[in-house]
Amino acid sequence: MRNLHHPEREQLDLPAVLYALSDPTRLEIVRKLAGEGERACGTFGLPATKATLSHHFKVLREAGLIQTRVEGVHRYNSLRKPDLDARFPGLLKAILKATAPR
């Protein structure tokens, strides 16, 4: 299995983070991780194919929003909140608040 790319904290790029969060499905993934913590890929209950969800997880991971760890045949994702808050203070909180379901 190939290694998954996770940018270092210093490599987090604001345009890449904002692009990743611009998609409603990716925003919902981030919202669930922010509220519930680490989750396996197949537990999000989103209306999308496995291939589409894999793409969304890749965009989020490569933008530095999530950390993916592999355990056997499962992949677990967690939000990189400490890194995001250190690099872009208050950004994640503001975006989640501004886009919260009413």
Q: Which one-letter amino acid corresponds to residue 19?
A: Y
* CATH top class, domain 9-97: mainly alpha
Contact present, 61 and 5 (Cβ < 8 Å): yes
Contact present, 16 and 59 (Cβ < 8 Å): no
What's the chain's average pLDDT? 94
* Beta strand pairing call for 74-79 and 66-71: antiparallel
CA torsion sign for 86, 96, 19, 28 is positive
Q: For 7-17, what is the mean pLDDT?
A: 96
pLDDT digits (tens, 9 = 90+) for 48-82: 999 999 999 999 999 999 999 999 999 999 999 99
The model's pTM is 0.93
Contact present, 30 and 65 (Cβ < 8 Å): yes
pLDDT at 2: 64
Give the C-alpha separation, 51 to 37, whole Å.
23
Give the C-alpha separation, 32 to 43, whole Å.
10
32 pLDDT higher than 70:
yes
25 pLDDT higher than 80:
yes
pLDDT band for 3, please (50, 70, 90 cuts): confident
Residue 78 half-sphere exposure toward CB, CA atoms < 13 A: 8
